[in-house]
Chains A and B, each alone.
Chain A
Amino acid sequence: MKKLARAAILIMTILSVCAFAACTGEKAYVFTDSVHLGSSLKAVVCCDKGTYEVFSKNAIKILDETDSEFNSQNPESFVYRFNKAKCGESVELSAVAKEAWTAAKAVYDLTEGAYDPTVKNYVDAWGFAQDANIVPDRPAPEPELLEALKEVSGTDKVEFTEKEGKAYLTKTACGVEYGGKTYGVKLDFGGLAKGFAVKKITDLCNELGITRGYVSYGSSSIYLLKNTKDADWDLKLTHPREDGTYYAVKASDIAASTSGDYERYYISGGKRFCHIIDGESGAPISNGVCSVTVIGCDPLIGDCLSTALCVRGEERIIEFANSDYAKANEIKVVAVFEKEDGLRVFSTADGEILSGKAYER
């Protein structure tokens, strides 16, 4: 009996030492990438060295795959091949492209067309192409061009079909001529590519059993695991007009996506022109929405949704935040509106527009 007790104590002690040693084998690794999708990714992951090596190898694979499917400059990408296709031509979607298209279409339907993946011609016309050097005082495109581009914009100009287990997108609208140039239907998945990558890398964390850290892409998409001390992160939102942040919330195991008029923009004639295009007018948004953050969505959907809400304007943002859909899916919205007398912040948590300056809490 005595021997048994001693053996039990010894085994428990050895196990405790092993567990202690295993815990201290973990550290917070910082993974960065700035060669894909024209933006920068940062992931903080708490794990052991071996797990981090597997993580970084697979994260690069995910980024390669995402970039090669969504990069409109890459001749191998689905987006490039579709944009080059002729009227009536079908292009096969890879699994990645199908997932992206399905999410984009779902948000298009949910927001009555406010998120539109076919606005690429407008994006280019306003000088916000992926590789464009954004310059101030850029002349606006001719109104006649914007009118002509309506012929090749909208998801009704694209048909999705599935046949024998394969998915296809077909251009149903033919090109339109303007100024000696032919414009065809073009896709732009720039608005969701970062959310897609964040989602896939978060899935990778889950597969590897990484529970502490976060994955963020540029300043538009983030997934928060637990913080390094296994508690909530302090998530702060960038102020759209001033230095610093304007809102803070404690959060973990949740995604957040932000869109706004302050990341890619130029000032021309004293007016701000940003990269978020209203598919209906073909012009950058000018509805007073500075920033919309969606918290609690799948990162892929969230990326599309935050853009769509920017397009929809203040009234519809608040309507969405209070909708059954948002409540059922536990989606929180934080938005900043520019008024004549300053900025106003709306958040689902507060349920109303807060008066006065944007605030931090």
Chain B
Amino acid sequence: MNVKFERVKNGKYFLKRDIILYAAIVLLLTGLFLGVFLTRENTALEKIEVYYKEKLIYSYDFLQKSAIITETGANYVETRTDGAETEVKITTPDGYNKVIIGDGYALVADADCFGKDCIRNSKRISGGGDAIFCLPHGIKILGVGEIGNEVTL
């Protein structure tokens, strides 16, 4: 036992600078890990963005509970809050779409487009990557946040 102990001691496997280096590496890895996981998007739906002909006109941030009407959107967007729901009426030369934003979701409640594809089948945005299109009106509503596991065909 003593012989082995002496070998280890003489070999100096763990010099002071080695320990400093390993500690630095561990700290770096921990920092990177925490940096990534504490700042990652961890709610299903963080934000919705509304586009008219590919230009952002309105966005609603579910985390901050705040909305932004862009400069382009100022011509088209009217909002009204009633209790927990916000109604966003988008009126463009192509027609109107009424978007309802609730707790963690958004949907189109009414529109004057033909076909009304944007309303049918209760299409609803409840996660990142979810989207509702109104092709006749050139409106796109996009969910921003973590992509879920569900895909609907």
Contact A244 B122 (CB under 8 A): yes
Q: A234 at the A/B interface (Cβ < 8 Å)?
A: yes
User: Which of B21, B115, B147 is in CB contact (< 8 Å) with A28?
Assistant: B147
With contacts A6-B18, A40-B133 taken as known, whether A134 is within 8 angstroms of B115 at the C-beta atoms is yes
Contact A234 B129 (CB under 8 A): no
Interchain residue pairs with CB less than 8 A apart (8): A6-B18, A17-B25, A32-B133, A134-B115, A214-B151, A222-B153, A231-B149, A236-B150
Contacts of A2 in B (CB 8 A): 11, 13
Contact B32 A21 (CB under 8 A): yes
**Please, what's the 1-or-0 string for B3-37, where 1 marks a CB less than 8 Å from any CB in chain A?**
00000000101000010010001001100100010
**Complexed CA–CA distance, A32 and B49 (Å):** 13
By beta carbon, the residue of chain B nearest A236 is B152
With contacts A21-B32, A133-B114 taken as known, whether A238 is within 8 angstroms of B121 at the C-beta atoms is yes
Could you tell me the distance in whole angstroms from the C-beta of A111 to the nearest C-beta in chain B?
Answer: 21
Q: Interface SS of chain B: helix, strand, loop or mixed? A: mixed
**Complexed CA–CA distance, A144 and B36 (Å):** 69
Contact A32 B131 (CB under 8 A): yes
By beta carbon, the residue of chain B nearest A14 is B25
With contacts A13-B25, A30-B142, A239-B121 taken as known, whether A234 is within 8 angstroms of B36 at the C-beta atoms is no
Contacts of B36 in A (CB 8 A): 24
Q: A305 at the A/B interface (Cβ < 8 Å)?
A: no
Q: B128 at the A/B interface (Cβ < 8 Å)?
A: yes
Contacts of B135 in A (CB 8 A): 34, 38-40
Could you tell me the distance in whole angstroms from the C-beta of B61 to the nearest C-beta in chain A?
Answer: 17
Give the bracket for the number of chain B residues in contact with chain A.
20 to 34
Q: A56 at the A/B interface (Cβ < 8 Å)?
A: no
Contact A224 B151 (CB under 8 A): yes
Could you tell me the distance in whole angstroms from the C-beta of B80 to the nearest C-beta in chain A?
Answer: 25
A175-193 residues at the B interface, CB under 8 angstroms: none
Could you tell me the distance in whole angstroms from the C-beta of B36 to the nearest C-beta in chain A?
Answer: 5
With contacts A39-B135, A243-B121 taken as known, whether A234 is within 8 angstroms of B32 at the C-beta atoms is no
By beta carbon, the residue of chain B nearest A243 is B122
**Complexed CA–CA distance, A214 and B148 (Å):** 12
Could you tell me the distance in whole angstroms from the C-beta of A83 to the nearest C-beta in chain B?
Answer: 23
**Complexed CA–CA distance, A214 and B115 (Å):** 26
Q: A228 at the A/B interface (Cβ < 8 Å)?
A: yes
Contact A30 B129 (CB under 8 A): yes
With contacts A2-B13, A32-B140, A134-B115 taken as known, whether A293 is within 8 angstroms of B153 at the C-beta atoms is yes
Contact B151 A234 (CB under 8 A): yes
Contact B153 A134 (CB under 8 A): no
**Please, what's the 1-or-0 string for A273-316, where 1 marks a CB less than 8 Å from any CB in chain B?**
00000000000000000000100000000000000000000000
Contact B129 A28 (CB under 8 A): yes
**Complexed CA–CA distance, A252 and B135 (Å):** 29
**Complexed CA–CA distance, A11 and B142 (Å):** 43
